[in-house]
Structure 1
């Protein structure tokens, strides 16, 4: 006879409520680790998919993602002449608000160097890739746009010709892809107030047009992407370009490291801290539940000892009950995660290794909770059954 199962079925309502309580705590742990995984994947989307070996950015800057960057508009032609370079593309990315359907929305505009790069590396869900025409855009579905919609960016009207899915930046804003020349125009456009302030600051200088930049630079190109010849030595190509003095050349691995260990470092620490707190709370809750269940069975435990039951019978009773609570809570947490997480505004990514680590952590929590109950049960004497 399985005493733990018998005792659990004796009070099923309490067991179910306890399992759901543990499930919500475990689901919070899964959600926080999955949220971090999702943020990391979103932050690395462009770096991983754009297929670049080197990133040529502004000198003494860690751009274009971890820090602002602007290179000369003709930097791609300079890079093209370096031995070992097979292909170059210009790149720009910046946040932009736009009005659509009577409401203001926020997106991240990404410049694609058409026709050198038509965006075929994008996971297109509907429509087509960018062509050679101006004023075309491919938008992510999270922006609420659809193929055929028309939006106004920098006083120009852009037609949505394609849709992607799950292409967002590290802040969760959907990406809008346009040609690099269109991106430069959008980035240079200033409001009337900006023009007025610039005129006031430059009193006595000629008037500036609406397309002029308030930044002391003519280019809005953030970086030049380089693909190397298969036979080229990356170190030699980097050294050749860095001798120019006005650029910094980074590999894709360095860009990834900057994103993870610079821009997302504090977020990683915060999520780790909150995950640890939730695990501690889970341990306390499960321990209190198991301890309370043990207190309620002290008379039965004393009777078992009076009948000659060995200590391992009591240990098995309490340990199995803690295991039942943990297993039921974990299974319910997985099921609830599948139902609830797709409704979140940010992507939650769960991978088997994370689920395995959470299961191991929950097993340790249940073992600690069982030890608390076993420690109390071990102090029960068979004589107490007569009291």
Structure 2
């Protein structure tokens, strides 16, 4: 006879409510950790998939993903002449809001150095890559645009020729890919009033007098992406760039470190703190429930001792109930997570390793929680059956 199962059947509604409560706490924990994993994956998405060995950025800056970066649009020609460099691509990215059929949308405009880069490193869900130097775009589905839609950016109309899925920046804005020349033109868009003020400041009235942007960085690019020859020494190439004095160079590992240990550091600490709080609450809830269930069974435990039951039987009953609450709550929380999180506005990544660590934490919590009930149960004397 399994005493734990018989006791659970006797109070099944309360047991199910307990499992559901623990399950929702586990769902919240999975969501916290998964949200962080999703933000990290989104932040590193372009860095990991674009296929650059080095990023040449503005001198004294940490690159476009950590802070503002602006280098001359001809920087790629200088980098291309270095020994060991196989190919270079210009890169620019900035956020943009625009209206489409009365809807206010937001995207992260990303420039592809066409024709060297047509976007073939992107994972298309529909459509094709860029085939023209102007007025074509590849959009992520999260933006809300469909294949064939036309969107007005800057002074021109762009047709969506390809769609991606899950391509977003660190803020969660979907990526909209255009050629880098189009991206620079979009960034230089100004209102009529701004053009008039620029002309007046330049002391002229013709178009040339106001041709320069009022924001100097708009006419530049954010970085130059460098692909090295297989036999090239990455450190020598980086040293050659640094010797110029007006540029900084970052490797893929440097970009990872800047994002994870600087820009996202506070977020990591906050999510870790919330997760620890949830686990502490879970430990308290399970401990109270197990202790309460034990208190309610003191008469039955005394009866078991009176008829000669060993302490190991009582210990096994309490430990099994705690384990069933933990396993049931974890399973319930996992099911709820898989049903709910796909509908969240930000991507929730449920990593197998994180789930394994969370299950281990829940198992430890249940083990410690069961000790409270076990200690109280072992203090019960057989004579208490008469009380």
TM-score for the superposition, normalised by structure 1: 0.96
Q: Against the structure 1 CA distance between its residues 377 and 210, is the aligned structure 2 distance closer, same or farther, given a 3 Å change threshold?
A: farther
Deviations 1:20-65 (A, max 9, x none): 1110000111111111111111111100000000000000000111
Distance 1:355 1:306 in 2: 43
CA contact (8 A) 1:110 1:176 kept: yes
Distance 1:272 1:219 in 2: 41
Distance 1:187 1:252 in 2: 26
Residue of structure 1 equivalent to 2:183: 183
CA contact (8 A) 2:199 2:210 kept: no
Report deviation, 1:381. 1.5
CA contact (8 A) 2:27 2:333 kept: yes
Large movers: runs of 4+ above 6 Å: 205-210
Distance 1:295 1:193 in 2: 77
CA contact (8 A) 1:188 1:220 kept: no
Distance 2:211 2:2 in 1: 79
Residue of structure 2 equivalent to 1:68: 68
CA contact (8 A) 1:109 1:177 kept: yes
Q: Residue 172 of structure 1 aligns to a residue in which SS?
A: coil
**Is 1:291 the equivalent of 2:275?**
no
Residue of structure 1 equivalent to 2:126: 126
Higher deviation after alignment, 157-166 or 217-226? 217-226
CA contact (8 A) 2:115 2:133 kept: no
Deviations 1:291-338 (A, max 9, x none): 111111010011111112121111111111000100111111111111
Residue of structure 2 equivalent to 1:348: 348
Distance 1:216 1:169 in 2: 24
**Is 1:35 the equivalent of 2:35?**
yes
Residue of structure 2 equivalent to 1:251: 251
Residue of structure 2 equivalent to 1:222: 222
Distance 2:349 2:228 in 1: 33
Q: Residue 86 of structure 2 aligns to a residue in which SS?
A: strand
Residue of structure 2 equivalent to 1:3: 3
Distance 2:46 2:97 in 1: 20
Residue of structure 2 equivalent to 1:106: 106
Distance 1:210 1:150 in 2: 29
Residue of structure 1 equivalent to 2:146: 146
Distance 1:320 1:199 in 2: 80
Q: Against the structure 1 CA distance between its residues 166 and 160, is the aligned structure 2 distance closer, same or farther, given a 3 Å change threshold?
A: same
Deviations 1:78-113 (A, max 9, x none): 111111100000000000001012021111000000
Distance 1:366 1:301 in 2: 21
Deviations 1:157-190 (A, max 9, x none): 1110100000001111000000000000011112
Q: Residue 216 of structure 2 aligns to a residue in which SS?
A: coil
Q: Residue 138 of structure 2 aligns to a residue in which SS?
A: strand
Higher deviation after alignment, 332-341 or 203-212? 203-212
Q: Against the structure 1 CA distance between its residues 300 and 162, is the aligned structure 2 distance closer, same or farther, given a 3 Å change threshold?
A: same
Report deviation, 1:205. 7.2
Report deviation, 1:214. 2.1
TM-score for the superposition, normalised by structure 2: 0.96
Q: Mapping of 1:1-387 within 5 angstroms? A: 1-192=1-192, 194-195=194-195, 202=201, 212-217=212-217, 219-387=219-387
CA contact (8 A) 2:126 2:164 kept: yes
CA contact (8 A) 1:187 1:220 kept: no
What is the total number of aligned residue pairs between the two structures?
386
Q: Residue 90 of structure 1 aligns to a residue in which SS?
A: strand
Report deviation, 1:132. 2.5
Report deviation, 1:215. 2.2
Report deviation, 1:211. 5.8
Q: Against the structure 1 CA distance between its residues 11 and 236, is the aligned structure 2 distance closer, same or farther, given a 3 Å change threshold?
A: same
Distance 1:203 1:303 in 2: 98
Distance 1:371 1:207 in 2: 84
Structure 1 unmatched ranges of 5 or more = none
Deviations 1:201-252 (A, max 9, x none): x485777777632223463300000000111111111111111110001111
Higher deviation after alignment, 189-198 or 132-141? 189-198
Distance 2:226 2:15 in 1: 60
